[in-house]
């Protein structure tokens, strides 16, 4: 999901989406995953010249991109979808000089303890064997686009770039996540817990895991249809008032209780403990898998003395 909180960004996106033809183009590109311009023109019933003109606003809004593939007649320009979900804040007064953003690849966890069913995979292949936790130590894990486990945890280090004169006001962490059922099951609840520096923030109950006949927009074609293929995009926020998931409060743990300053390490743990009411596992999606093509995004907002 892409944040859009500038007037120019909102206007560019609005222009791109203001045409029924362009909306139909986006839907067709999403359904086909990859399509050349001739095929796209035929699918939406317009001329090749019209497709070229309609493509310009979509490219300017960064909604689509071109990749080049080799074919019988030489190189071919193929269109693919980039983003399809947006968070738009038309009243944003956020001072962007008082924040920084980082994106943590899901395979760069620094600690883990996982129990089967479990596994980890890159965009190209499963790493090692499924249901073998030892492959979470494989060096190629840094390229992972998906990982899953039934019980246990993975833990990440969040970079701390705060200066001595700065005070943490809010942490925003977004990620694509769902349960881990044997096979695919949309009704498979799991209580997934989150913590910062060992402080329990609360939990969110995932309703199930998802896939089967419907594959994630960015999930590779080779991925087994009997494995979960996409999750739900969640936003975990810790501010001065407490901890929230998608705006709903899950605990009173706030930034003051976290006690993070410029010298503090920041660890972020995602866990399914065996004491949870619903032990239904966890799947994390990164770039190249799922519906959102992102890793773990972190926004750190601070004040200056």
**Domains contained in the chain, number:** 2
Q: Which domain holds residue 216?
A: 94-304
The predicted model scores a pTM of 0.76
Based on the fold, state whether residues 106 and 34 are members of the same structural domain: no
147 and 119 in contact (C-beta within 8 Å)? yes
Q: What percent of the chain has pLDDT over 90?
A: 72
290 and 147 in contact (C-beta within 8 Å)? no
pLDDT in tens, 33-55: 888 889 999 999 999 889 989 99
Tokens 């001072």 belong to which residue? 95
Count of beta carbons in the 10 Å neighbourhood of residue 56: 12
Tokens 């995932």 belong to which residue? 206
Based on the fold, state whether residues 220 and 129 are members of the same structural domain: yes
Domain end point (choices 86, 115, 131): 86
Q: CA 237, CA 250: separation in Å to the nearest integer?
A: 10
CATH of the domain at 194: 2.60.120.260
CATH of the domain at 70: 1.10.10.10
Based on the fold, state whether residues 42 and 173 are members of the same structural domain: no
Four-point Cα dihedral 245, 246, 252, 254, nearest 10? 100
Question: Taking each helix axis from N to C terminus, what angle separates 20-32 and 37-44, rounded to the nearest 10 degrees?
Answer: 120
Q: CA 119, CA 134: separation in Å to the nearest integer?
A: 10
Based on the fold, state whether residues 100 and 81 are members of the same structural domain: no
Based on the fold, state whether residues 130 and 8 are members of the same structural domain: no
Q: CA 134, CA 288: separation in Å to the nearest integer?
A: 23
37 and 122 in contact (C-beta within 8 Å)? no
Residues of the chain scoring pLDDT < 70: 1, 5, 70-74, 89-96
């Amino acid at each position: 999901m892409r944040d859009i909180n500038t007037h120019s960004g909102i206007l560019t996106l609005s222009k791109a989406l203001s045409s029924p033809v362009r909306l139909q183009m986006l839907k067709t590109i999403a359904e086909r995953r990859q399509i050349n311009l001739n095929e796209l023109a035929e699918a939406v019933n317009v001329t090749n010249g019209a497709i070229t003109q309609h493509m310009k606003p979509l490219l300017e809004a960064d909604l689509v991109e071109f990749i080049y593939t080799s074919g019988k007649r030489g190189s071919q320009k193929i269109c693919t979808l980039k983003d399809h979900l947006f968070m738009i804040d038309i009243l944003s007064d956020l001072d962007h000089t008082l924040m920084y953003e980082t994106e943590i690849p899901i395979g760069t966890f620094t600690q883990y303890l996982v129990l089967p069913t479990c596994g980890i995979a890159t965009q190209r292949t499963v790493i090692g064997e499924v249901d073998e936790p030892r492959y979470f130590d494989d060096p190629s894990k840094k390229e992972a686009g998906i990982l899953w486990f039934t019980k246990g945890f993975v833990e990440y280090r969040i970079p701390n770039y705060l200066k001595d004169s700065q005070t943490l006001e809010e942490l925003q962490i977004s990620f694509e996540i769902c349960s881990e059922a044997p096979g695919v099951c949309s009704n498979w609840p799991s209580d997934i817990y989150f913590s910062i520096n060992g402080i329990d923030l609360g939990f969110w109950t995932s309703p199930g895991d998802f896939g089967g006949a419907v594959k994630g927009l960015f999930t590779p074609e080779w991925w087994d249809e009997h494995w979960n293929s996409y999750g739900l995009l969640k936003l975990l926020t810790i501010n001065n008032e407490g901890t929230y998931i998608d705006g709903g409060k899950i605990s009173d743990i706030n930034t003051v209780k976290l006690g993070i300053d410029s010298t503090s390490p920041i660890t972020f743990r995602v866990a399914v403990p065996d004491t949870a009411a619903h032990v239904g596992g966890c799947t994390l999606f990164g770039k190249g898998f799922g519906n959102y093509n992102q890793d773990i995004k972190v926004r750190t907002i601070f004040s200056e003395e």
